[in-house]
Amino acid sequence: MPTHLRTLAVCAAIMGGVATLRPASADILIGMSAPINGDNALVGAQLSAGAETAVADFNLRGGVLGEKLVLQIEDDGCNARRAVPVANKLIAQKVGFVLGGWCSGVDLPASSIFADNGTVEISLASNEAITEQGFDGLFRINGRNDRQGKLLADFIATHHSGQRVALVSDRSAYAIGLIAHLRSALKAQAGVVVALDQSIDAGTKDFSALVAGFKDTAIDVVTFVGYPTEAGLIVAQATAAGLKAEFVSGNSMGNRKFWDVAGKAGQGLVFTCPTAVDLLPSAQDTVTEFKSKGKTADGYTLYAYAGVQLLADAITRAKSTNPETVAGELQKGGIPTVLGNISFDDKGDILQPIWRLCRWSEGSYAYYSAE
């Protein structure tokens, strides 16, 4: 048995095969932790729409193993303090399968609770530490931060060689992990000068001291890792102060909140972004379905849709809701989704490359043309 599945086998044994003894009429519960409220509510809305649509589509086709899929969404607010209560609430509701938090600060602690319970999780977070924990039954369909950090470092080295770079991050689990990988990757790049490296507190509104630091150290490129509100404020205040610098950021900038806060000062910000699933050939039927309902399928919408597909198809292959058996089918991979045929490595990370570069322009963003 692969190492990735051993602990889950023990959990399944402890559970006494309860999942396989359900009445035929029982629902199959799928839980989801998402930021329904707060600065990342737009992402939460995308995740909810994707998961809800996928569940509805399966149920229209008769469900899975003749049972109806039921989605239970809990609001984590992208707040680490909510991680444990939300995870425990889902467990208390007998949720055997879950789409884990998009925010790493939530999914890091929550994933251990799901693992201890024998719950199969599809993670949507990017911190590499999540799958490095070695939890069985944990699979990730987002990209890892270490790979994202290298992409950012390569971009800076290619387009800003010889320029002075500032690294700024908040103190979230997401930012701490990504900035560490970016810092390490930049050290390996010739011609990159990190002239300023500091952190900020989430919730800060006045960044005048930080902007003054940019000017004092003659910064050419500001790389910020954190969330949209602080990013928008930093960009807007730096631009208003006359700083002539380029701005680079991480994947959390694929959020309209950034442009709403930064305004036209956000023009040209380059950031890492996940593959635009709505542009993939494998997703076109689903995109058409969304459009027919007056909905969009952008951002992380179809990642959540794919997460439900993975769980439903693995249960179908397993002909069982037993977590060990379902996890085994996920580990075998080759499961067709809107993302294409998905497979995982031994740690549970998706094998397909996920990260791209995007750029904000005139209130919307698209793939960076010079990538």
In SS3 terms, 255-297 reads as CHHHHHHHHHHHCCCEEEEECCHHHCHHHHHHHHHHHHCCCCC
Task: Assign domain 146-274+356-367 to its CATH architecture.
Answer: 3-Layer(aba) Sandwich (3.40)
- Whole-number pLDDT of residue 370: 67
pTM check: above 0.85: no
Q: What are phi and psi of 165, to 5 degrees?
A: -110, 140
pLDDT of residue 371: 52
pLDDT band at 369 (very low <50, low <70, confident <90, very high): confident
CA dihedral (359, 360, 365, 369) positive or negative: negative
Query: Do the domains 3-143+278-354 and 146-274+356-367 sit in the same CATH topology, yes or no?
Result: yes
Give which of 24, 290, 3 is closest to 137, Cα–Cα.
3
Q: What is the mean pLDDT of the chain?
A: 91
pLDDT digits (tens, 9 = 90+) for 120-171: 999 999 889 999 999 999 999 999 999 999 999 999 999 999 999 999 999 9
What is the arithmetic mean of pLDDT over 85-93? Answer: 96
Listed by start position, the domains of the chain span 3-143+278-354, 146-274+356-367
pLDDT of residue 13: 37
Instruction: Tell me what pLDDT residue 6 has.
Output: 36
Residue 264 CB neighbour total at 10 angstroms:
11
Mean pLDDT (whole number) for 302-318: 98
Q: Residue 42: how many CB atoms within 10 A of its CB?
A: 17
Fold of 3-143+278-354: Rossmann fold (3.40.50)
pLDDT at position 309 over 90? yes
